[in-house]
């Protein structure tokens, strides 16, 4: 596995952001991976996840949203975030055209990817992966953020912790059921929004990270390419 190839992405509106491609020799898929609202693509969670995904045969194409690239605190407007997702997918195709594509991300990165998919902006992407889909603000249960998912015409994998305060499973399970065969829900027992688990889970955080990666790879390998 390479340490990562640094790239640049041109985003409509004259923005340019950084990207990082990690491709193991055994890669069968390329996952275009967006970061969460509070941290960029170099966050330790994404670093560890990219490593585990590589070992599971999934290359990753991480990228920054403009506000992180420009060291601003407040996220860009949804239109800019979605345009960035679409630009990242396009750049990933240019960079690694021989690998089938997945797209998704951690929290906000996954949600913006799903919104871009709902608007038909993601071209050849064959499936979406959400590492902690932010169904609602912390401890404020609701499902409005999931309404657009009915317009996503591709398989979706939801990886969610039982202690995630941004996704009440009592609400997320019915959402996934309504999406029918398009949605797969994988539960991490005792996991929070960052997939940190309590001791009673009987697993370490490192083992959970491996589970996230292997679950993603197994799910992807069942998709029709």
Q: Tens digits of per-residue pLDDT, 44-78?
A: 999 999 999 999 999 999 999 999 999 999 999 99
Q: What is the pLDDT of residue 1?
A: 42
- Token pair 């941004």: residue: 166
Q: 162-207, pLDDT tens digit by residue?
A: 999 999 999 999 999 999 999 999 999 999 999 999 988 899 999 9
Domain coverage including residue 42: 5-221
**Averaged pLDDT, 200-222:** 96
CATH number of the domain bearing residue 210: 3.40.50.1820
pLDDT at 130: 98
Q: Rounded to an integer, what distance in angstroms lies between the CA atom of residue 182 and that of residue 161?
A: 20
The percentage of the chain sitting over the pLDDT mark of 90, rounded to a whole number, equals: 93
Helix (H) or strand (E) holding 28: none
Provide mean pLDDT across the span 93-103.
97
pLDDT value for 13: 83
- Per-residue pLDDT, averaged over 88-104, amounts to 97
Q: d(Cα 58, Cα 43) in Å, to the nearest integer? A: 19
Per the structure, how many domains does the chain have? 1
**Model confidence pLDDT, tens digit, residues 120-171:** 999 999 999 999 999 999 989 999 999 999 999 999 999 999 999 999 999 9
pLDDT grade for 225, boundaries at 50, 70 and 90: low
What is the spatial distance between Cα 41 and Cα 11, in angstroms, rounded to a whole number? 16
Among all chains, which residue has been given the structure tokens 């029709």? 224
Between the CA atoms of 74, 80, 83 and 85, what dihedral angle is there, to the nearest 10 degrees?
A: 10
Distance CA 129, CA 122 (A): 13
Mean pLDDT across the chain: 95
- State the pTM of this model: 0.96
Write the CB contacts of 129 (distance below 8 Å, at least 6 apart in sequence).
31, 102, 103, 104, 105, 110, 156, 157, 159, 216, 219, 220
């Amino acid at each position: 596995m390479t340490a990562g190839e640094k790239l640049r992405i041109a985003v409509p509106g004259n923005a340019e952001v950084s990207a990082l491609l990690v491709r193991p020799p055994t890669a069968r898929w390329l996952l275009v991976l967006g970061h969460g609202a509070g941290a960029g693509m170099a966050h330790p969670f994404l670093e560890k996840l990219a490593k585990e995904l590589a070992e599971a045969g999934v290359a990753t194409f991480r990228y920054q949203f403009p506000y992180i690239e420009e060291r601003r605190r407040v996220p860009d407007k949804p239109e800019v975030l979605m345009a960035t997702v679409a630009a990242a997918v396009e750049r990933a195709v240019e960079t690694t055209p021989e690998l089938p594509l997945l797209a998704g991300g951690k929290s906000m990165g996954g949600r913006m990817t799903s919104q871009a998919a709902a608007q038909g902006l993601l071209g050849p992407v064959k499936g979406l992966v959400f590492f902690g889909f932010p169904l609602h603000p912390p401890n404020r249960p609701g499902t409005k953020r999931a309404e657009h998912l009915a317009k996503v015409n591709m398989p979706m994998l939801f990886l969610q912790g039982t202690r995630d305060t941004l996704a009440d499973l009592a609400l997320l399970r019915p959402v996934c059921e309504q999406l029918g065969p398009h949605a797969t829900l994988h539960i991490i027992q005792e996991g929070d929004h960052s997939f940190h688990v309590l001791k009673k889970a009987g697993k370490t955080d490192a083992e959970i990270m491996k589970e996230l990666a292997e679950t993603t790879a197994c799910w992807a390998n069942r998709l029709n390419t």
